[in-house]
C-alpha cells in the first residue's frame, strides 16, 4: 500500500500525523471521489513534493535569485517553464503562483490598477470568487461588471457580454468558470476584447488538463493571459501558473514576484515540472479523452436529474435537483452516507442560498485516473441517483460502491 516517501520515518517521529495520512488514503480508497476539482497525482509528483527542494529559499527567478545556492533549483524551474511553454504553445510561463487565486491576483496586478473596470462571469452562474465576488479582493478592489448565462439555454450569452463590454468599456475581460459544463468560445471573447480595446484573460483552472490533452480547444492562442491550476484535470501538485504573451512576460513576472509573493515553493515547482512532463506523453491525451467520455456517460446515467445546459463537453456536469424536491446540501449529505464524495453547487438563477443550493457538481478526473470507463460510470450514475432519491438505501449503495472501488484503487504500490 502506498503512503508516500519516507513514511516509516514519519510514523516514528509523529505517529499522530502519520495516522492522518493513513486515514486519508483509506478515505479515498473506500469511496467514490467525484469532486470535479480534485485528482490523484502520480507517485512521481508526490516524490518531488516530498523532496529536499522544500528547504531552499529562492526568491526571484532562475539566474536572478536573491539567495545563493540556487543553481540546482534553478534547473527545476527552468524545466517547468520550458515544459509548460512547450505543452501549451505559449510565449511565456510563470510557474511560481502558489494557487489559482494567487495566479489571478498576479494577473490582475499586471494588467489593472485598483478601481479599474473588468468584465467577468458571475459566481452564481458558474464563475469564481476571484472573478469579482464582493467577499473577495477582486470584488473589493475593482469595478466588476458581471455577465451570466441565458435562462432558456443556460449557455453564456455572448450578446450580453458584447453589449456590456461596449457600454462599460472594461480594461480587462475575464472568461473561464468553475461550474460551466460547456465549451467556452475564446474566439468570440477575443473579438469582443479587441472591439473595446480590453485585455483578455482566460482562467482555465478547471479545463487546463483537457487543453493539455488536446481534448478541448486551448485558450492560449486567443488570450493575452491564461491562468490555471495544476491539481485538477492536469493531475499535478496543488498550485497555480500563468501563461502569457511575450509582450506581457515582464509585467506578469514582476506581478508574481515581488508584488504578490515572496519565496517560491521549489518542491512544488519541481512537482509541476513532473506533471507537465507526464502531460506530454501520448497516454495523457487518452486520459483527457476518457475524462470527457466518462463525464458525458455519468451525466446521462443520473436518473431523474436534469443536467444544466442539457449535458457536458468537459470533465464536469452541473445537476439541477429541483424536480426531486431535494436541495444540493441534502443530496451531498445523502451521497456522503453512501460513500460518494461530491459537492453541492448553485445552478443558474438558483432560488436557494449558496450554502444550500439546488444543484450538485460532479466530475470524473479522479475515477478516470483510477481506470474506470464508461461501463463503470454508468453504474456510478445509478448509484448517485439511488443515494439521492432513496436515502434509505445508503447501506446497500455503500456496499456496491466498496465493491466497485476495490477493483480501481489509487496508490496500490510503494515507491
The answer to whether the annotation marks 247 as part of a ligand binding site is yes
Is 136 in the same domain as 216? Answer: yes
* CA separation for the pair 28, 46 (Å, rounded): 16
Residues with catalytic roles: 57, 59, 203, 229, 232, 238
Asked if residue 104 belongs to a domain, the reply is: yes
Give the per-residue pLDDT at 150.
Answer: 97
CATH number at residue 331: 3.90.1150.10
What secondary structure letter does DSSP report for 238?
S
H/E element, 144:
strand 143-147
Q: What's phi and psi for 127, nearest 5 deg?
A: -75, -160
The answer to whether the annotation marks 415 as part of a ligand binding site is no
Is 266 in the same domain as 352? Answer: no
Q: How many CB atoms lie within 10 A of CB 188?
A: 15
Is 54 in the same domain as 142? Answer: yes
Give the side-chain half-sphere CA count within 13 A for 310.
Answer: 6
163 and 132 Cβ atoms separated by less than 8 Å? no
3-state secondary structure of 13: helix
Is 355 in the same domain as 380? Answer: yes
Domain tally, the chain = 2
Give the pairing type, strands 60-61 and 64-65.
antiparallel
Is 370 in the same domain as 305? Answer: yes
The answer to whether the annotation marks 172 as part of a ligand binding site is no
Give the per-residue pLDDT at 284.
Answer: 98
Give the per-residue pLDDT at 413.
Answer: 56
Give the per-residue pLDDT at 1.
Answer: 41
* CA separation for the pair 291, 312 (Å, rounded): 11
Mean pLDDT by 10 residues, the chain (415 residues): 68 95 94 98 94 96 97 98 98 98 98 98 95 94 97 97 98 97 98 98 98 98 98 97 98 98 97 98 98 98 96 98 98 98 98 97 98 98 98 98 96 60
Amino acid at each position: 500500500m502506498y503512503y508516500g516517501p519516507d513514511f516509516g520515518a514519519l510514523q516514528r517521529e509523529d505517529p499522530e500525523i502519520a495516522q492522518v495520512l493513513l486515514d486519508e488514503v483509506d478515505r479515498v480508497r473506500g469511496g467514490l471521489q467525484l469532486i470535479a476539482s480534485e485528482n490523484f497525482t502520480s507517485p512521481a509528483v508526490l516524490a518531488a513534493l516530498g523532496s529536499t527542494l522544500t528547504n531552499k529559499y529562492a526568491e526571484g527567478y532562475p539566474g536572478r535569485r536573491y539567495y545563493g545556492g540556487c543553481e540546482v533549483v534553478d534547473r527545476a524551474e527552468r524545466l517547468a517553464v520550458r515544459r509548460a511553454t512547450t505543452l501549451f504553445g505559449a510565449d511565456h510561463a510563470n510557474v511560481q503562483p502558489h494557487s489559482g487565486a494567487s495566479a489571478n491576483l498576479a494577473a490582475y496586478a499586471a494588467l489593472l490598477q485598483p478601481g479599474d473596470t473588468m468584465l467577468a462571469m458571475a459566481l452564481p452562474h458558474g464563475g469564481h470568487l476571484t472573478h469579482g465576488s464582493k467577499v473577495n479582493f477582486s470584488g473589493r478592489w475593482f469595478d466588476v461588471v458581471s455577465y451570466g448565462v441565458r435562462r432558456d439555454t443556460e449557455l453564456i450569452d455572448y450578446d450580453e457580454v458584447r453589449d456590456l463590454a461596449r457600454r462599460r468599456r472594461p480594461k480587462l475581460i475575464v472568461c473561464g468558470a468553475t461550474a460551466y459544463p460547456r465549451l467556452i468560445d475564446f474566439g468570440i471573447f477575443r473579438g469582443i476584447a479587441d472591439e473595446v480595446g480590453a485585455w483578455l484573460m482566460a482562467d482555465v483552472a478547471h479545463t487546463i488538463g483537457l487543453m493539455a490533452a488536446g481534448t478541448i480547444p486551448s485558450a492560449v492562442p486567443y488570450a493575452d493571459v491564461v491562468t490555471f491550476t495544476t491539481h485538477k484535470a492536469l493531475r499535478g501538485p496543488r498550485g497555480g501558473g500563468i501563461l502569457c504573451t511575450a509582450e506581457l512576460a515582464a509585467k506578469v513576472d514582476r506581478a508574481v514576484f515581488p508584488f504578490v509573493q515572496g519565496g517560491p515553493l521549489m518542491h512544488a515547482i519541481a512537482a509541476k515540472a513532473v506533471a507537465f512532463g507526464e502531460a506530454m506523453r501520448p497516454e495523457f491525451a487518452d486520459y483527457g479523452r476518457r475524462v470527457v467520455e466518462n463525464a458525458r456517460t455519468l451525466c446521462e446515467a443520473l436518473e431523474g436529474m436534469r443536467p444544466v445546459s442539457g449535458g457536458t463537453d468537459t470533465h464536469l456536469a452541473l445537476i439541477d435537483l429541483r424536480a426531486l424536491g431535494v436541495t444540493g446540501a441534502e443530496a451531498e449529505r445523502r451521497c456522503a452516507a453512501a460513500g460518494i464524495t461530491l459537492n453541492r453547487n448553485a445552478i443558474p438563477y438558483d432560488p436557494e442560498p449558496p450554502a444550500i443550493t439546488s444543484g450538485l457538481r460532479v466530475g470524473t478526473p479522479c475515477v478516470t485516473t483510477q481506470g474506470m470507463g464508461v461501463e463503470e460510470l454508468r453504474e456510478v450514475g445509478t448509484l448517485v441517483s439511488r443515494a439521492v432519491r432513496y436515502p434509505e438505501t445508503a447501506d446497500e449503495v455503500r456496499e456496491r460502491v466498496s465493491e466497485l472501488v476495490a477493483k480501481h484503487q489509487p496508490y496500490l504500490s510503494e515507491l
